[in-house]
């Protein structure tokens, strides 16, 4: 189990990384890399990382005001949204609950008014904390398939809980990273996706090749599980080694859908997809998976990003002929996309997802990233707007076969998540009362909704959150954050711990950068591959807007990006170092020209590019901020974070950037590498780890941007 970090003895300086220059020429471009040796992840790197952790821990723990910030953050986060991830199965309701004081969420089942804990990961023995990554109940509610990982790694091991008894079955299937599990109706059987254990000596970039979808019957040996779909198993479904086959059985359907993911983004079961191929087949074909008559529905060029199945009607969200996507329907038995019927045509809004609720379709759309919902009769007719009680985002929406209702979790920048019931018969939306309001009182905080002109005239959404009555005098410490990749939009806006920043006078601005999904596929494509420079310059242009309109000033402005958010932050850092007082890059991959050689890297090629082609190399050189660091430049203060168990970004990525900046900067400002020894990419962290990280970030920025102690907002 991981415990809250204890005070660290002062350390005078970070360890200096050994320089061993490697030069190579690719398509006429010479690349010089002084820290390539770190990619071996040997004992030398880990000793250096341990030294960096000691140094950053010493600095961060000793920052003035950190103890007070941590105490306030703990107070704000302790009782916020204890329940989440609601799922219906049979007559039962399943969800996660994280009670005040609990380190990680537990799995709860409700039978009528009775609730009981089914699985508490914290009770599982082991040296590192366990976390429930995902869960999928069987349609009858008798079983729940769960993914449990250690140390925030997300390397899920599939376990099965028997609901009546609460017993944990003998199944322990490793490599089930994504939670792509479907139950076969009427049978104690699942279809699941897994990665195989790589052979010794397999290069990192090939360790996740040839994953597969398998069929498992409870109580039988996993080694005997037949393969449902994998590369070379079906002549109807061509696959490359990097492709991942996910097989879904929609609830109440006699059909199954195979999603072949060619890139990093797949959100089971069938929403927020990208670069996928879809196939359909009768569920009965599972009796002989090797002879399954898969029919092709769509390929990557068809741009299907979500689907829903009702009877033999297969509804598809596609950007094939609509830059912000449309909704079409085909027959699942004869899926001719060229003859599809348009149900919701493309418009200014981006179509995101679709569900069947009663005798209506429920369509999720986005307007500059904010959620909108429309309903229309299954038999055809005009769409009607469903008024939502919150102008925010849908974190999740849950439906069930035969249920004329949906449950929608909504939140905004200033309102904690609430679960609303949508009545499929009347279209009414009412609060279930399932979630108590957060004790974090945001009534003294306001959101300014802006559209910032980028240098090419494109209007970029920017939401600025600050305490009411903010004086625009240029003296406000401000954080600008953005993501801008994979067509994604942040789905959890409410961050109770950030009230500790706002009540001290801090500002936070959220930029909807090109490359994200604020305006659908059109927005994604505008910041992808050869157009990735837009993601970075949008971030810079939003920063300049905040300065020009006196929200802040360069010495009091920080950038903050997580994961792919390291592209705009890293890119802005090396292009405009004088624009920032500080920069935070969390679990980022700044050395993108080496990304595809890491374990999780190959699936990012469609988004970022590949060094195997001249065009791909040009694309990667846009986003590789590590290679753009120059000696003698006055860089701002920088905080990088890394997790030793990160399954998405190799630890040497932030390590190389930290080493390069520490050696290059002439400003005398700190460059810190915060290393989480028992953490990963962020998902799977304990409550203590999340609170400690936020306290470190806010204390670091408060110190570097000279934020006053402030007082609670009244």
Q: Which token pair is 536?
A: 């970075």
Domain 22-76+440-705 class? Answer: alpha beta
- Contact present, 620 and 592 (Cβ < 8 Å): yes
At 268 the pLDDT is: 53
At 402 the pLDDT is: 79
Name which of 568, 559, 578, 563 is nearest 538 in CA terms: 568
At 290 the pLDDT is: 87
At 491 the pLDDT is: 81
Flag whether pLDDT at 420 surpasses 90.
yes
At 490 the pLDDT is: 82
Q: Which token pair is 42?
A: 């040997």
Per-residue pLDDT of 262-304, as tens digits, reads 986 665 555 678 889 999 999 999 999 989 999 999 999 999 9
Confidence of residue 710 (pLDDT cuts 50, 70, 90): very low
Q: What percent of the chain is modeled with pLDDT above 70?
A: 96
Looking only at the bridges linking them, the beta strands covering 637-643 and 582-586 are parallel
Flag whether pLDDT at 711 surpasses 70.
no
How many C-beta neighbours within 10 Å does residue 290 have? Answer: 10
Name which of 165, 82, 183, 174 is nearest 118 in CA terms: 165
Q: Mean per-residue pLDDT for 668-686?
A: 96
CA distance 231 to 67: 53
Domain boundaries of the chain, sorted by first residue: 22-76+440-705
Instruction: Tell me the pLDDT of the chain averaged across its residues.
Output: 93
Q: How far, rounded to the nearest angstrom, does the alpha carbon of residue 513 sit from its chain's CA centroid? A: 16
HEC secondary structure over 115-164? EEEEECHHHCCCCCCEEEEEEEECCCCCEEEEEEEECCCCCCEEEEEECC
Confidence of residue 541 (pLDDT cuts 50, 70, 90): very high
Burial class (CB in 10 A: 0-12, 13-18, 19+), 313: middle
Per-residue pLDDT of 240-259, as tens digits, reads 999 999 999 998 899 999 99
At 263 the pLDDT is: 84
- Contact present, 73 and 497 (Cβ < 8 Å): yes
**Is the bond leading into 269 cis (omega within 30 degrees of zero)?**
yes
Q: Which token pair is 444?
A: 């003294």
Flag whether pLDDT at 81 surpasses 90.
no
Per-residue pLDDT of 180-236, as tens digits, reads 999 999 889 999 999 999 999 999 999 999 999 999 999 999 999 999 999 999 999
SS3 234: coil
Per-residue pLDDT of 44-77, as tens digits, reads 999 999 999 999 999 999 999 999 999 999 999 9
Per-residue pLDDT of 688-700, as tens digits, reads 999 999 999 999 9
- Contact present, 304 and 265 (Cβ < 8 Å): no
Confidence of residue 3 (pLDDT cuts 50, 70, 90): very low
Name which of 157, 80, 86 is nearest 121 in CA terms: 157
Per-residue pLDDT of 501-537, as tens digits, reads 999 999 999 999 999 999 999 999 999 999 999 999 9
Per-residue pLDDT of 312-336, as tens digits, reads 999 999 998 899 999 999 999 999 9
* pLDDT greater at residue 449 or residue 5: 449
Which sign, positive or negative, has the C-alpha torsion 479, 589, 688, 267? Answer: positive
Confidence of residue 708 (pLDDT cuts 50, 70, 90): low
Per-residue pLDDT of 178-192, as tens digits, reads 889 999 998 899 999
Q: Which token pair is 418?
A: 């609430």
- Contact present, 636 and 582 (Cβ < 8 Å): yes
N-terminal to C-terminal alpha carbon distance within the chain: 38
- Contact present, 666 and 634 (Cβ < 8 Å): yes
DSSP string across 395-445: EEEE--TT-SEEEEEEE-SSS--EEEEEETTT--EEE---SPPPSS--TTE
At 8 the pLDDT is: 54
Q: How far, rounded to the nearest angstrom, does the alpha carbon of residue 178 sit from its chain's CA centroid? A: 12
């Amino acid at each position: 189990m991981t415990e809250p970090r204890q005070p660290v003895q002062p350390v005078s300086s970070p360890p200096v990384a050994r320089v061993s220059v490697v030069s190579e020429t690719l398509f006429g471009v010479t690349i010089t890399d002084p820290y390539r040796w770190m990619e071996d992840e040997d004992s030398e790197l880990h000793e250096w990382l341990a030294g960096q952790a000691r140094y950053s821990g010493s600095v961060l723990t000793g920052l003035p005001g950190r103890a007070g910030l941590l105490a306030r953050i703990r107070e704000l986060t302790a009782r916020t949204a204890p329940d989440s991830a609601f799922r219906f199965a049979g007559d039962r309701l399943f969800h996660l609950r994280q009670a005040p004081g609990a380190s990680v969420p537990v799995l709860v089942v409700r039978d009528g008014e009775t609730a009981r804990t089914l699985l508490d990961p914290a009770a599982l023995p082991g040296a590192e904390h366990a976390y429930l990554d995902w869960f999928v109940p069987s349609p009858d509610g008798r079983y729940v398939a769960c993914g449990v990982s250690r140390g925030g790694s997300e390397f899920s091991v599939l376990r099965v809980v028997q609901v009546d008894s609460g017993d944990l079955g003998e199944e322990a299937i490793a490599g089930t990273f994504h939670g792509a599990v479907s139950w076969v109706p009427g049978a104690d059987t699942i279809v699941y996706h897994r990665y195989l254990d790589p052979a010794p000596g397999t290069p990192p970039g090939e360790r996740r090749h040839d994953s597969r979808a398998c069929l498992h019957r409870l109580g039988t040996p996993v080694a005997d599980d037949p393969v449902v779909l994998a590369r070379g198993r079906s002549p109807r479904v061509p696959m490359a080694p990097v492709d991942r086959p996910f097989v879904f059985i929609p609830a109440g359907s006699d059909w199954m859908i195979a999603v072949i993911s060619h890139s990093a983004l797949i959100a089971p079961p069938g929403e927020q997809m990208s670069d996928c191929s879809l196939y359909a087949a009768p569920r009965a074909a599972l009796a002989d998976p090797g002879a399954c008559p898969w029919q092709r529905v769509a390929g990557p060029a068809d741009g299907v990003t979500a689907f829903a199945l009702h009877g033999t009607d297969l509804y598809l969200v596609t950007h094939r002929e609509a830059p912000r996507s449309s909704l079409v329907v085909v027959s699942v038995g004869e899926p001719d996309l060229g003859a599809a019927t348009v149900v919701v045509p493309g418009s200014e809004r981006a179509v995101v997802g679709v569900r069947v609720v009663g005798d209506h379709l429920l369509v999720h759309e986005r307007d500059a990233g904010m959620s909108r919902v429309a309903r229309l009769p299954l038999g055809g007719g005009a769409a009607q707007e469903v008024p939502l009680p919150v102008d925010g985002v849908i974190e999740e929406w849950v439906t069930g076969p035969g249920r004329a209702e949906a449950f929608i979790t909504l939140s905004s920048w200033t309102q904690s998540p609430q679960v609303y019931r949508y009545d499929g018969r009347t279209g009414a939306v009412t609060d279930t009362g399932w979630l108590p309001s957060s004790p974090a009182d945001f009534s003294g905080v306001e959101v300014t909704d802006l559209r910032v002109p980028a240098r090419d005239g494109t209007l970029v959404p920017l939401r600025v959150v600050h305490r009411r009555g903010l004086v625009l005098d240029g003296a406000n410490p401000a954080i600008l954050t953005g993501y801008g990749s994979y067509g994604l939009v942040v789905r959890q806006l409410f961050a109770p711990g950030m009230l500790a920043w706002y009540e001290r006078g801090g500002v936070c601005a959220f930029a909807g950068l090109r490359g994200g999904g604020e305006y659908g596929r059109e927005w994604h494509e505008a910041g992808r591959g050869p157009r990735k420079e837009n993601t970075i310059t949008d971030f810079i242009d939003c920063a300049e807007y905040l300065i020009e309109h006196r929200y802040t000033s360069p010495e009091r402005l920080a950038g903050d990006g997580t994961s792919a958010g390291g592209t705009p932050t890293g890119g802005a850092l090396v292009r405009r170092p004088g624009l920032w007082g500080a920069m935070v890059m969390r679990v980022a991959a700044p050395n993108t020209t080496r990304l595809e050689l890491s374990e999780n890297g190959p699936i990012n090629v469609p988004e970022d590019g590949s060094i195997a082609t001249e065009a791909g190399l040009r694309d990667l050189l846009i986003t590789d901020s590590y290679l753009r660091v120059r000696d003698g430049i006055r860089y701002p203060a920088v905080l990088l974070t890394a997790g030793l168990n990160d399954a998405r970004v190799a630890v040497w990525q932030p390590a190389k950037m930290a080493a390069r900046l520490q050696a290059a900067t002439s400003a005398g400002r700190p460059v810190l590498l915060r290393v989480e020894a028992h953490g990963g990419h962020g998902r799977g962290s304990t409550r203590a780890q999340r609170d400690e990280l936020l306290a470190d970030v806010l204390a670091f920025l408060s110190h570097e941007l000279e934020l006053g102690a402030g007082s609670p907002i009244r």
